[in-house]
Amino acid sequence: MIITADRLTTDGSAHAFLLNVPTDVPILLVSRVGDYRFNEDILSLKGKKYMLVDFIEYGWDWKFEFGHTWGVNTDKVDFLKGDEYAKLDDFIRENPPVLTLKRELLLEDVTDNVKPIEYPNYQPSYHVHSKGLFDNRLINVFYYWGRSNENRVRLHSEIWANSSKNGASICDNIYYFNQFMAEENSNNRWITLNIPHYGRIDILNLLAINGSAKLSVSMPGAGIKCFRSTGESIVNSVAVMMEDKLAWAYPFTHLENCIKFPKYGGEIATIEEALRYDSLYEVYRNSLATAEKYQINNYINNYILPLINKA
C-alpha cells in the first residue's frame, strides 16, 4: 500500500517505481508539490510500522548547507513551511517510520534506518563494446537537457563558446543529427540538445546516440539525482556528473565508474581532461556494471528489499 503525502498530487515516476516493490509494509511517499494539502489517509498509519520514501527535490541552487529530516528540522526549509506541512511533520515526529529512504540524503545523515534511494534503471542491458569500438566512437560528448536547472542552460552556451577554442563540431538540434553525422568529418563531435517536456523524444532514440558517445553529461536538475544519473547516461556510456555530498545506494566515484566535475563552471575542463584519460574504457565498463545494479529488478531485490526486511 502506498499513501501519498499530498491528497491529490505526487511524483508519478516514484509512485510507479514503488508499485513494483513486493512488500506488505505500507509506504508513505513524499514528493515536492506546489500547493501541498495533507492527505488524511496518512492518519491510518498511526501506531503501525511503515516506511517513509522521500523524493523531495530541494531546488537547482541547493548548496548542501544542511540535510532535512522530517520531524526534526522541517522549519528550516522555506518551501516546507505552513500549516499543511506542519501536519505532516507532526505526524512523522510522533509516528516515526521503521525505515526512511530519501532521495536527496546527505552522506553524513545516513543511519541504520535512513538510507538513500534513486530512480531505477528501466533500460535493457547493453552489449559491452570492445576497447577498439569504444575508443573509435563517433561522438565525444552527448548532452541532452530540459530547463529545470539554470546551469544546464549555461553549460549549453559554454559548449558552443568553447568550440572556437577546441575546434569541436556541434549539433544542437535533434532533427539535424543524421545529416550532422553524415556531413561533419570532425573527430571532435559534441551533441548538446535542449529537449523540453513538450517536445520529448523516445528515450531509446536518445540512448542510441548515447551509445555512440564516449561521455554522457548528466547535469543536476531540480534535484541532484535525476533519471539521467542512474537510468540513462550510465547504461551505455560514461556519465559526467557533479561532485556532491549525497549518499547513493551504489556510489559514483570519479575515474572509477564516472567522471565528476568539482563544481558548476568546471564541466568543460573536466570533460576535456577525461577525453585524454588513458583508462576511460575501464571507466566505461564499470559504468555499465553500475547500470546493472540500478536495473529495476536488481535494485529492488538486491537493495530495497533487504533494507525493508532488516527494518
Model confidence at 64, pLDDT cuts 50, 70, 90, reads: confident
Give pLDDT, residue 62.
Answer: 82
Give pLDDT, residue 278.
Answer: 96
Give pLDDT, residue 206.
Answer: 96
Model confidence at 184, pLDDT cuts 50, 70, 90, reads: very high
**Mean pLDDT estimate for the chain:** 95
The answer on pLDDT for 63 being more than 90 is: no
- Alpha carbon distances (Å) from 130 to 20, 37, 81, 137, 239: 34, 53, 53, 11, 18
- Alpha carbon distances (Å) from 185 to 181, 192, 214: 8, 18, 17
Are the beta carbons of 241 and 259 closer than 8 angstroms? yes
Domain limits, CATH 3.40.50.2000, in the chain: 131-294
Distance of CA 117 to the CA centre of its chain: 10
The answer on pLDDT for 61 being more than 90 is: no
The residue behind cell 537493495 is: 303
Give the E-state strand segments of 112-159 in sequence order: 114-116, 139-145
The answer on pLDDT for 56 being more than 90 is: yes
The residue behind cell 546527505 is: 106
Give pLDDT, residue 160.
Answer: 97
The residue behind cell 516493490 is: 21
The answer on pLDDT for 65 being more than 90 is: no
Share of the chain above pLDDT 90, in %: 94
Model confidence pLDDT, tens digit, residues 216-274: 999 999 999 998 999 999 999 999 999 999 999 999 999 999 999 999 999 999 999 99
- Alpha carbon distances (Å) from 179 to 175, 183, 206, 262: 9, 6, 16, 35
Quickly name the fold that domain 131-294 has: Rossmann fold (3.40.50)
Model confidence pLDDT, tens digit, residues 119-144: 999 999 999 999 999 999 999 999 99
Q: What is the DSSP string of 232-298?
A: THHHHSEEEEE---B--SS---BTTTBEEESSTT-HHHHHHHHHT-TTHHHHHHHHHHHHHHHBHHH
Could you give the count of Cα atoms lying within 13 Å of 196 in the half-sphere of its Cβ?
3
Radius of gyration of the CA atoms of the chain, in A: 21
Give pLDDT, residue 197.
Answer: 85
